[in-house]
Structures are given as structure tokens and as C-alpha cells.
Amino acid sequence: MGKLQLTILAFIAVSCCLHIRRQLHGRDYLKHLFLGNPVGKSRILYLDYIRLLATLFVILVHCMDFSAAGLSAGGVTWVAVQSLSSIMQVCNTLFIMNSGALILSGQTEGFVSFYYKRFLKVALPFFCYYCIYILLSCQYFNSGFIAGIWKALRDMAAGPIDWAPHLWVIYVILSLSVLAPFFSILFKHLTGSMLQGLAVLILLFRCLAVYLPVMGLPLNLELMISPWEGVFLLGYYFAHPISMEHRKAWWGLGLASGVFTVLCTAFRSDYKAILLAEGAPAMILIAGSLFLLLRSLENRLPKPGILMNFLIRYSYSILLVHWYVLYYVRERLDITGLAPGMAGSTMLSFLLVLVLSAAAAFLFDQTVVLCVQSLFKSLVRPLKSR
């Protein structure tokens, strides 16, 4: 038996002991393990829907990209597929907005407690899943174990490797979390009208930064905040009561942005530079309108069932692992003959990737991630008790 297999068995054995001990201490442990906290206990229903919607969009976009790789550019089918793909690319904006809404609106704890929880619940799982892609890349340990670890850590610090390009959004969220407690304090002192003005200002400057170069006017007009930082702050705005007072205007702008996305895809060869730029206005408006739509429907949204609760509970891990699962489904499983046409192939890939990613996320979270988090807690506990 190889070292990797022994390591896996060790994680399984330790995690089983941890699960048994926790079950003995709490009857609801297994229910929490699969479904997380019930709605109303540190969870906001419409934000759960947004997180799940963004996760599904990510998987579907990547499945569509694989299926549409052979389409001839410029045809009606190509325009339809690329337009739909561009609209669903709002998933990245939704993830960052959702983080802003959750962190900036609900941040009431001290700085040390905030950073501890973010490291435990976001950074450590990210590191664990990143190790999967490090191992799969098969390029780090050819020159020895220590040298491989050093090279892997160096590349990890530099950004996502080629095997995991989708992880860029986690780098953005982690970097935004550093200043989040300070922004939370500042924003809570803004009046509604001041917050409304800031939201308009962020959107205006994003329009100038993205659209002026398209019109041959590459003026360097930027706010002091980065594009994704602006999206992050807008998450707080769209979770604030003041935004609901103008929801019809935002819905109209969101619908117009959807039409603009289709027209831009059909008639502009540089549509990706316009629609998918960092903090692209069209994506901000579509994401903002979805935020306000789900907020307005929150009292009528059905409470998540068992399946939806499970997917929401593991949505972050599904996002992290789905890229490898997609590669496995497309490269190792021959599904081209199992579903007719591109639409059938896309939907079959989507369902397979979603199911397998959810299963992989659950197993990996409750073995490797659980052990790493438990080890970190045990190391930090003596320091917290001082």
C-alpha cells in the first residue's frame, strides 16, 4: 500500500473518531452534518438561494463551454449559447456580492474572532482542496518532497495554477475579507441616502472604466477601490433596506443589461472584454436585480428541502471541487453518445458534475477538511484560553 493510500486511511480513521465523539455529545449532530443550521439561525433565506444559484450557474457555464467548443462563431446557435453563458457568468459577481452582504451586514464580532472564523471556514478548506489540484498536476514532487512543497506553496501564493483556474474568485474573496471588518464599521455610519449615492458612484465609475475604452476614450478614471472591491461593497448596499425602495429601477436596469448582453454578444467581437471585465456594469446590474428580486420574494420562497439544504450546506466545497469532477466527466466518461445534441450533452454533464461534486464535497469535508480544522483548533485553543 502506497503512502497516499495510507494517508487517506489515516484521515478516514481519525475523522470517524471525531464524528463518533461529536454524535455522542449532541443528538442533532448528524442532521447538522448533512443540512447545516436551519433557516433563521445565522442563515438568511434569500442569500441561501443566491449562493445556490451562483453555484449552479458556475457548473452550468463550465459544462456549456465544453459542449460549445466546436460551434462555429457567428451562427445563431453560437450567439444563443454565448449570450446565455455570458449572462450566467454573473455567478462570479453573485459570489462576491453575497460575501459582501453576509460579512458587512452581519459582522458584529471582534477582529480576532472574525479573522479566526474566516481562516477556519474559508481559508483552510480552500487550502485542502487546492492540495487536490497540486497532486493532480503531477509536476511538484518530481524533485523531492520538500522541494515540491516549497514550489507548491510558492505557486499557491502567486494565484491559481493552470489545473485550477476557477479558484481565482476565492483569492478575491479572501483578499476582500482582510479589510471587511473596517468597511463594516464605516458603512454602519452611513445614512441611507449616502449609501445610495455611493452605490451610484461605484456603478458610474465602472461604466466609465469599461465603456470609455470601447468608444476610443481610454481615460484613466477609477475610484480608489478596486473593481471587485466595489462589487463587494455593493453586496452590502443590495442587502440594505434603502435598495428595496428603488428595486423597480434596478429591475429595469437588470433587464436592460440582459438585452444588452445578447446584443453585445451578437454584434461585438470584443464582447468578452465588455461583458466579463472585472466589475462589469452589466453583470453588476443583473446580479443586483437578482438580489432584489429574491429579497422581495423572501417571504414566499419555499423553505429549502433536504436536497436543497444539502447543496447549500456544501455549496462552497462544490465550487472548489467541481472543476476536477468536470474534467473527469468530460475526459474519462464517454457521454457523447448518451444524450442527443449539445443541449442534451450539456445537461447530462451538468447533472453528473453536480451529483459527483456534491458527493465528493461531503466526503472530503468530513474527512480531510474536518481533520485539518480540528488540528488547527487544538493548536489555537491554548492561545484563546489566555
Q: Grid coordinates standing for 33?
A: 452534518
Residue 227 and residue 206 in contact, taking contact as beta carbons nearer than 8 Å: yes
Residue with C-alpha cell 489515516?
A: 10
Residues 362, 125: Cα–Cα separation, whole Å: 12
Query: Is 321 exposed, middle or buried (CB count within 10 Å of its CB: 0-12, 13-18, 19+)?
Result: buried
Total Cβ atoms within 10 A of residue 155: 17
CA distances from 61 to 72, 166, 310 (A): 18, 12, 22
pTM of the entire structure?
0.91
pLDDT averages per 10-residue partition of the chain, 386 residues:
73 85 77 68 84 95 81 81 92 95 81 90 94 83 78 86 89 92 88 92 91 80 82 94 94 96 91 91 96 92 88 94 88 64 82 94 93 89 66
Angle at 330 between CA 326 and CA 334, to 5 degrees: 140
Closest by Cα among 236, 244, 238 to 286: 238
According to the model, what pLDDT value does residue 334 have?
67
Identify whether the C-beta of residue 232 lies closer than 8 Å to the C-beta of residue 96: yes
Q: What is the DSSP string of 52-112?
A: HHHHHHHHHHHHHHHHTTTSPTTSHHHHHHHHHHHHHTHHHHHHHHHHHHHHHHH--S-HH
At residue 17, the pLDDT reads 87
- The full set of domain ranges for the chain reads 55-88+302-380
